[in-house]
Structure 1
Amino acid sequence: MLSDAVVVLDLADREPVVITDDRLAEVIARLDESAELSAVGSREHTERLRSRVERLGSYRNQPGGFWVASTKPEAAGEAFAGSTPLRELDAVALLSDGASRLADRFDLMSWPELLAVLRKAGPTELIARTREVEASDPNGMRWPRGKASDDATAVWWSTGD
């Protein structure tokens, strides 16, 4: 796993295990000197975001920074890897940070609730709910974020299917 992805292991009779790569968030926390809110799309927000992106460039795919799959194949060697016996899994969710935000950024549902949405209605429903919440806060004032809507990808695999 690298950068802005989340793996959620839906374990039989146990709380889900959420695996993330927090190195990008750690770098952003070190770079942000102000917690001042500005509306998504405002001049202030655009300037702050542009400055952050420029500063992040020196940390991308570097020791002490964060790693993304891009034009540097050696980034794969920095990925978090692991395994879980198949018999312990009910299902697995693979999510981009745009698809995980209801649980990890907006705190509107727990991980078990997010898994229940995926189990019952699939990735399309999870992403639709995410878009609905984002649309309810288009300026990012309630849930501060870099952009009004982030790319959202979700894969759901159940061992019972």
Structure 2
Amino acid sequence: MKPSLKHYADYFSIGIYLNICSYGEIINWVDKLITEIDHPEDWMIELSTSAYKHPLDVVHLLDSIPGEQNLEISLRLMIAKLGRIYPIISPDHNRFAKPVHSKLLRSLYHLIFDADSIADELRTAIYQIDMDLDYVEQGYGDWSVIEQDYRKLLATSFDYQQWL
């Protein structure tokens, strides 16, 4: 199923939260939408000119895009993007996640913590990587466990790469 405009809007909101999506990406996306239609909607014009707005203002604009939310689809788009940005994650000092990866993986966990609409496959992959990250950093196990968990996480969203 092709993601809707709302799914992409939520994907970009998540991307801002995770510090993975830039304003430039959002503006390029909405500018492309504007060129494809005769009469752009107000939110399109607002987003197209949002380069210097505060992140919360951009998120509010993204939230105003009409449509039905689906956290799972938006999250799978984000994980597909993670696979492009970080195809592998390697340890820092052979045991600890690099700060950027640690923050990112912990933030994914917090995103889904209270979400009910996430498939078990995706939820399990995110929980597993969070739990194993704690164990490895405490000295139980080696980094190969995290690499394996991360590959499983990326595999949950492989089909969504075509939509980025």
- Is TM more than 0.5 here? no
**More helix by proportion, 1 or 2?**
2
**More strand by proportion, 1 or 2?**
1
TM bucket (normalised to shorter chain) is: under 0.3
TM-score normalised by L of structure 1:
0.26
